[in-house]
Amino acid sequence: TNQSFTPIVNGNYAVEITEYGCTDTSSCYNVTVGIIERISNSFINIYPNPANSFIVVESKEINIESIEIINITGKVVKQIIVDGNKATIDLSDKTKGLYMIRLITDKGIIIKKVMLE
């Protein structure tokens, strides 16, 4: 529960879960490591930034599959599954400070920053 793993090399990855002596393994997923800076700057909008209680993540060019909100210590504090190109995220229960927004898209992984005031 609430575990995350960020690969540092390209490859095929699966998750294995063991509970009460039983083990199950997910399907394998091919992961390409890296940040798409050109796409990040050109096609993803996060607003308002700085934010008070919510943010909108929007793209006109790429499909967003999921969004992770990561605090300054690197912990994923919120994860959202998205089916499309726009999501409104409630951050009213989070403390003020700097957060990283990790977007998993159909074009790769994009990381942006947002300030919560």
Share of residues in the chain with pLDDT > 90 (%): 43
SS3 of the chain: helix, strand, coil, percent, to 5: 5, 55, 40
- pLDDT at residue 39 is higher than 80: no
In eight-state DSSP terms, residue 38 is H
Residues 6 or more apart whose Cβ sits within 8 Å of residue 54: 88, 89, 90, 91, 92
pLDDT in tens, 65-104: 999 999 888 889 999 999 888 999 999 999 999 999 988 8
